[in-house]
Chain A
Amino acid sequence: MALLTKDKSVVVPGEELASGMDYLPTNGTYRDGDKIVAARLGLLHIEGRLLKIIPFSGKYLPKRGDVIIAKVEDITLNGWRCYINSAYSALLNLRDASSEFIAKGADLTRYFTFGDYIVAGITNVTSQNIVDLTLKAPGLKKLGEGRIMHIDPNKMPRVIGKAGSMVNMIKEATDCRISVGQNGIIWIQGSPNNELVAVKSIEKISAESHVPGLTERIKKFLDKELKK
């Protein structure tokens, strides 16, 4: 009938978090008899009666509504198969790819070809982990010339910041165009030197995501790096 750990504590898989039916298991936890047990290594968050674990690291798990950056890996009869930095690949269907009419038998490489990166939304994830993508929403598009970097998808919320504050700060300071996908892929375009500063600051965020006062430190870091 009680909580066995504190809020915001580090928990390990198998650790018993609560007993009794007063609490409910959500992300990263499961119920075993009358106990709730941790399934991931991470920080425990208690929201009312809900127990949730924010994992420290891990692969990306596709979720409906996520905006991600995907790489075109294959062209099929009815669309494009994309790599999404996950164990599962995603499918961009012809009818979700463009507002343009794509005729039957058209050369699909004219739209997206192998190795192209796109910002796409996830419309559906089935129980078998078949992932469907769309490009029919504002802001979803094919990405042009730029560089790609990968970070741990679990650190993505810190890179983006509250309402995009962190990434906007980097964008403004470095004058780079930056697209972040919730799957841990980031696209950056700018002048070579400034791009490097952006990459370094994102790496710094991802390395120090758990240390308080991150925004201030990144601000100082950007100032220092850009003065060089």
Chain B
Amino acid sequence: MNSSIREHILKALDAGIRFDGRKLDELRKVTVEKNVSKNAEGSARVLIGDTEILAGVKTAVEQPYPDSPEEGNLMVNAELLPLSNSRFEPGPPSEEAIEVARIIDRGIREANTIDRNKLCLTPKEEVWSVMIDVLTINAHGNLIDASAFASIVALLNAKLPKREDGVVNYSELTKESIPLSKNIPITVTVYKIGKHLIVDPLPEEEDVADARLTAAVLEDGSVVAMQKGGEQPITADEILAMASLAQTKSKELRKLL
């Protein structure tokens, strides 16, 4: 990326102001809309600034994996739609899309958000599969946090469909939610540009960032999953600073659940 734009961003950050006038640790306006899809068991639309994400939860009765015969399955898939940004191409999922999906998956899995034992219908034979699909409607920075947040909102609002005589009737939802524990992870990504740490980056800032650290944080502040990205290394002290910033910011997002 252009080094002169990086220099320019750094100078503004030195003065404590971002390109859009925010402070370094300030989030853009977050808007949450619940159950926007008629056909999904649960869904959410999340806007962070101009970034817009749709997440949907679908369920199906399937065979469990052999290594977890009494647990339901969880699958997360993210699609970066070509219409949401000129950078995205149609075709098989890109590295970026796979990373977004895996970060969301890891947060939910490691937090034990879904009580997967309760999703078991008949051990070794039938379990509920929970599938979360994330679509980018407009990509304008901070896709990871927006996608993860949309997934969690969708999951919290999802209801299992009716099942009679082994047949699932998707047109009728029960009042039964997907069995969840109290561990709801909120994912926050902290970016490092020069010596500055920022959250909720704009595309320009993502392009010039040295490194990023994503943390999935529970309500009590414990970090259950992490992912490091970017070309430059980060020091142990920086990891601590980034994680603690993620903890503070996760509280702000949690209020919007």
* A147 and B19 within 8 A (CB): yes
Q: Hey, which chain A residues are within 8 Å of B171, CB to CB?
A: none
* A189 and B8 within 8 A (CB): yes
Per the 8 Å Cβ criterion, residues 194-217 of A in contact with B are 195-196
* A115 and B17 within 8 A (CB): no
Q: Hey, which chain A residues are within 8 Å of B3, CB to CB?
A: 115
In angstroms, Cα B24 to Cα A192, docked, is 13
Q: What's the minimum C-beta distance from B152 to chain A, rounded to whole angstroms?
A: 32
Q: What's the minimum C-beta distance from A9 to chain B, rounded to whole angstroms?
A: 32
| B7 CB-CB contact with A under 8 Å | yes
In angstroms, Cα B4 to Cα A114, docked, is 11
9 new A-B contacts at CB < 8 Å, known A146-B4, A191-B15: A115-B3, A115-B5, A117-B2, A145-B8, A147-B8, A192-B12, A192-B15, A193-B15, A196-B17
* B7 and A145 within 8 A (CB): yes
In angstroms, Cα B17 to Cα A147, docked, is 14
**Residues of chain B having any CB pair with chain A under 8 Å:** 1-5, 7-9, 11-12, 15, 17, 19-21, 204
In angstroms, Cα B208 to Cα A145, docked, is 14
Q: What's the minimum C-beta distance from A19 to chain B, rounded to whole angstroms?
A: 39
* A192 and B5 within 8 A (CB): no
In angstroms, Cα B26 to Cα A206, docked, is 27
* B21 and A196 within 8 A (CB): yes
* B5 and A193 within 8 A (CB): no
In angstroms, Cα B248 to Cα A180, docked, is 41
Q: What's the minimum C-beta distance from B139 to chain A, rounded to whole angstroms?
A: 15
Known: A192-B17, A193-B17, A196-B21. A116 touches B8 (CB 8 A): no
In angstroms, Cα B20 to Cα A117, docked, is 21
| A164 CB-CB contact with B under 8 Å | no
Chain B residue at minimal CB-CB distance from A188: B8
| A144 CB-CB contact with B under 8 Å | yes
* CB 8 Å contact bits of A167-193 with B (1 = contact, 0 = none): 000000000000000000000010111
* B2 and A116 within 8 A (CB): yes
Q: What's the minimum C-beta distance from A176 to chain B, rounded to whole angstroms?
A: 12
Sample 10 A-B pairs with CB under 8 A, ordered by A number.
A116-B2, A144-B4, A145-B4, A146-B5, A147-B5, A147-B8, A192-B11, A192-B12, A193-B21, A196-B21
